[in-house]
Each structure stands twice: as structure tokens, then as C-alpha cells.
Amino acid sequence: MKFGLCTSMDNYDQLYEIGYDYIEIAGTEAIKASNKELKELRKKIDDYGVPCIGFNSYCDASLPIVGSGYNPSATADYAERICEKAVILGAKALGIGSPLARKLPLGYDVKRADEQAADFLLITAGAAKKYDITILFESLCAQMCDYMIHTPEALAMVKKLNARSGNIKMVLDFYHMSMMKEDVSEIAYVMPYVNHLHISGFKENGERIYLTEEQKDHYRLAVQSAKKWGYDRTISIEADTNNFTADAVRSLDILKNL
């Protein structure tokens, strides 16, 4: 299993020195970066041998996935532009969590939201397929968004759409599962569609933090449940920090010791 971080491009050198296997950067950062900046990072990637495997945080509230602001044309334009950014870095996956893009007005028709989300994912997958890029959808907890807050819901959507596109899979995020009181040890039903994992620590208020020794048993349960099923791909820490170096060093040590 490979260990990585969801973090800014600015942290690449530190991530490499600490010993992570790869970086996962935010799509919201990549879309704003110039091609010159991305090519400079690509040179480091080629020199150091630590790849950018994909993007998390695909988009922000300016590109709604569901709701009254959903725009198929804007969705297609964004997908083309972000795929071009991904190609520069050699990234092969676009993670679509994006809680700010999944806010629904009170009383919004869920069936309509399902149609919009399906359209969004198929448009994006169509653009990505030309570059051999996979779309990774995920459920997000209710503390962050209003739509697709349970793993079985996201799985049902992915099953249906992947049958049409062939390049729509899942990110399974143990943080979101934990916030929704889902059992992180009962994941066999979803693993055939999972291409990537996210993990983090968490506080009682839902704050997503880097890994801590106090929650090590929980991380072990999650990781071992994936390994028991036969998963040996990638797992990224996706969290917030005010002390990147210390938190990143400690978290990698914890992952390696599980």
C-alpha cells in the first residue's frame, strides 16, 4: 500500500523529504495554477520520482454539482481545463467530493439532484476518458454537504454510471464514514468499486486533523479492513493542519506502524 498526502504544491519538497510515496493536490489549486507553475512541479516529480497521482477537491461552489446553479456547459468547460492540468502533472484520477458544490436549497427535489449529479459525472468522465483519467466519486458527511451523505448512496450512483462510462469509481473516505457512524470494518460491499482511500483524524466537533496516537486503533481497524479485502493501492491523509511538518512526519510514522 502506498501512502500520500492531500496537500498544496508548495509542500512537495517537504513531502518528498519526509518520505511519502506521492502527492495529491487540490483541483481547486491546480485549476488556478499557471501551466508554467505546473510544469515546474512536473520537473520535480520527474527528478524525485514521487508522483502526483491525482486531484482531490475537484471544484468549489462556483461549479455546482447539484442545485439550481447546475450548468452542463460550465461543467464540460471545467472538465476539459482541469484534465489538461492533470495531464501536465501526469495525474490519473480526479476525486469528486467537493462539499461546497453539493449544497441544496431546503426542499430541493432529490430526484432532480440525482439527475444533475449523474449528468455532471458523465460529462466529466467523458472529458477524462480521452486522457485515460478516472473519476472518483465519494459520499461526504452531513456536517459538510447536503447531498449523497451515505456510502451506499454514492455506490449506487457509481455502479449505474460506471456501466456506461467505464471510468467512474470511488474514493472511500474513512473520515466521512466515521462522521456518519458507518462501520469502517464493514466495507466489503463497496470495495470492488474503490480505487483510492482517504483517512484522517477527527475531533468531536468534526474537525478533520492529521493522524494522532490516540486514535490509532480506529485507523488500524479501517486500514486492516481494506487489506483484508485485498486492497493494496493508495491511501491519502486528507486533513487540516497549522504545523505541516510535524503533523506529516507523525502521520506517516503511524501509517507505517499499523
Nearest to 137 by CA among 154, 120, 118: 154
Q: What total number of domains does the chain contain?
A: 1
- The domain that contains 248 carries what CATH number? 3.20.20.150
As a whole number of Å, the CA-based R_g of the chain is 17
pLDDT, tens digit only, all 258 positions of the chain: 999 999 999 999 999 999 999 999 999 999 999 999 999 999 999 999 999 999 999 999 999 999 999 999 999 999 999 999 999 999 999 999 999 999 999 999 999 999 999 999 999 999 999 999 999 999 999 999 999 999 999 999 999 999 999 999 999 999 999 999 999 999 999 999 999 999 999 998 899 999 999 999 999 999 999 999 999 999 999 999 999 999 999 999 999 998
Q: How many residues does the chain have?
A: 258
Is the pTM for the entire model greater than 0.85?
yes
Domain limits at 144? Answer: 2-257
Instruction: Please report the pLDDT score of residue 204 as a whole number.
Output: 87
Instruction: Please report the pLDDT score of residue 115 as a whole number.
Output: 98
**CA–CA separation, 52 vs 11, rounded Å?**
12
Q: H/E/C letters for each residue in 31-43?
A: CCCCHHHHHHHHH
Contact 252, 16 (CB under 8 A): no
**CA–CA separation, 235 vs 254, rounded Å?**
13
Q: At what angle do helices 151-165 and 110-129 cross, to 10 degrees?
A: 50
Phi-psi region at 55: left, alpha or beta (left = phi > 0; alpha = psi -120 to 50): beta
**CA–CA separation, 147 vs 141, rounded Å?**
9
Residue 97, C-alpha cell as written in the block: 467530493
DSSP symbols for 49-118: ---EEEEES---TTS-SSSTT--HHHHHHHHHHHHHHHHHHT--EEEE--GGG----TT--HHHHHHHHH
Instruction: Please report the pLDDT score of residue 142 as a whole number.
Output: 95
